[in-house]
Amino acid sequence: MTERRDTFIDTHVHLDAPEFLPDLAAVRARARDRGVACCVLPAVQAQDFERARALAHEFGDAYALGIHPLYVAAAEDEDLARLDQALTRHRDDPRLVAVGEIGLDLFVPALCEEPLRTRQLFFYRAQLKLAKKHGLPVILHVRRSADLLLQGLRDLAGPGQAWLGIAHAFSGSLQQAQAFTALGFKLGFGGALTYERATKLRELARVLPLEALVLETDAPDIPPHWLYTTAAQREQGLAQGRNEPGELPRIAQTLAELRGLDLAQLARATRANALAALPRLGPLLGAPASAAVACRD
For the annotated binding site, the residues are 12, 14, 101, 141, 168, 218
DSSP H helical ranges for the chain: 24-33, 49-59, 78-89, 109-112, 116-134, 146-157, 174-182, 199-207, 231-235, 248-259, 263-277, 281-284
- The neighbouring-strand residues paired with 39 are 10
* Chain centre to alpha carbon of residue 176: 17
Binding-site residue ranges for a divalent metal cation = 12, 14, 101, 141, 168, 218
CB 97 within 8 A of CB 62: yes
CB 14 within 8 A of CB 68: no
CB 92 within 8 A of CB 131: no
Helix, strand, coil content of the chain in percent (nearest 5): 50, 15, 35
CB 250 within 8 A of CB 266: no
Distance CA 124, CA 67 (A): 8
